[in-house]
Amino acid sequence: MAYVINLQFQTLRFSSLLNSLNSHKQLPYLSPNPKSVKRIISVPDFVTFRPRKHQISLKVHAAVTETDQSQPKWWEKNAGPNMIDIHSTQEFLGALSQAGDKLVIVEFYGTWCASCRALFPKLCRTAEEHPEILFLKVNFDENKPMCKNLNVKVLPYFHFYRGADGQLESFSCSLAKFQKIKDAIQMHNTARCGIGPPKGVGDLNLEAAMTSKEKPT
């Protein structure tokens, strides 16, 4: 930091100083010859410190984080080709029919459901570990009539289907109880040969849940 220092000095003629001292007999050996001496500088009366005012400019850089709209929402992410989003009753029935004798696990979820979101990453890892199983994701809000007919009352909810056996099991599950899904997979994901056409949803009639656009003409 820079300061401006103003110094004011008073000068005394050495001759007058010597005369004063000699009058008191303090310096008898000094000669008051003004030509042989020079001026001396006395102690300054005062020193004034006047700090220079600095103008400090601070530049604030506001970092604005923009949400990348191209990134999918958590429920839009899929683990692979064996995880499919279902948007209608017709898509649901078609996926069960085309699965043949594969084990099919259906997850009913809500985009607003915190338990569904917490469980979803682990479900994706399970789908990656079992490429032989077909995972169907059903958005509850997009398929309320179908979910009502399938007796889905809590979320997340799971249905297990397999070929001619139709619906094998259904239960609600959370992240803390994910072992239920693993146990059901171990029980139902066994090698077998199905006899007869796939039953799909079994005795449930989903035609009432189909919209007018989905119904065959």
- Which residues are catalytic, by number? 113, 116
pLDDT at 79 (0 to 100): 82
How confident is the model over 3-23, as pLDDT tens digits? 444 444 344 444 554 455 555
pLDDT band at 160 (very low <50, low <70, confident <90, very high): very high
* C-alpha span between 14 and 3 (Å, rounded): 33
Q: Which runs of E-coded beta strand occur in the chain? A: 3-7, 11-12, 40-41, 47-51, 83-86, 103-109, 134-139, 157-162, 166-172
pLDDT at 6 (0 to 100): 45
The verdict on pTM exceeding 0.75 is: no
Give the relative orientation of helices 114-129 and 179-188 as an angle to the nearest 10 degrees.
40
pLDDT at 101 (0 to 100): 92
Q: Judge whether 5 and 47 are in contact, CB under 8 Å.
A: yes
Is residue 109's pLDDT more than 70?
yes
How confident is the model over 82-102, as pLDDT tens digits? 999 999 999 999 999 999 999
Residue of higher predicted confidence among 32 and 172? 172
